[in-house]
Amino acid sequence: MRPVVFGWLTVCAMGAGSYMTPRPWRILFLAGLILSVVVLGHWQHRKLTVSTLRRIRHRQANHLQVIQGWLQLGRLNRAEDYVGRLSQKISEEGAWYRDLPLSWLYAVLMLDAMAESRGIRCQWHIAKVGSAWIRLFRFERTVARALASAGTAMDIHLDDQGFVVSLLDPKTMPRGRFGVRVWQQGDTIVLVWHPGAGTE
């Protein structure tokens, strides 16, 4: 049985037990229920972390294959250009580790790895961000849903007021209720969550 199914069954059993048992035993079942929820959340977090690390390793392997291919073809200038662009991207990502709070850093790394595994190039423009959980949740949901509609490139601006996600060559119009403003400018679809932008 999958751990997540077993976890939810345990949570349901503890909830039913805390409801149906006599009063003195309810505390024991409620403690078990809380512990089950914590363990399940911890397991889900580990699963997501391993999945993100797997995507990052896959991305690094792809970069090495491209460099190796250019070198085998004797195209040293192409290999040097690629290494230069890769070095610049790595130095930009290094700023994330210094400037972003842990929860935002985790979300950005996860979304960036998810985009690259789908062949979508993300250009990140990150200014100072706060630690508002509601904004983080909305940002994660918006970018994850936008990835389903993205073609090959996305432009993401993030600051302490809100965010702007631009799909530069979208396959389809994003679906679902984002709680953000969405409009189309030529071939680009823009999703904005910013105090001055309003919502749709």
Can you give the pLDDT of all 200 residues of the chain as single tens digits? 466 666 667 767 767 766 677 777 777 777 777 777 777 777 777 877 787 788 788 888 888 999 999 999 999 999 999 999 888 888 887 877 777 888 888 888 888 888 887 888 888 888 777 666 667 888 888 888 888 888 888 999 888 878 888 888 888 777 765 667 787 877 788 888 765 554 44
- What the block records as the tokens of 111 is 């979304």
Read off the pTM: 0.66
C-alpha span between 53 and 44 (Å, rounded): 14
14, 28 contact by CB (below 8 A): no
Walk me through the domains of the chain, giving residue ranges and CATH numbers: 1-99 (no CATH), 104-200 (3.30.565.10)
On the CB side of 40, how many CA atoms lie within 13 Å of its CA? 16
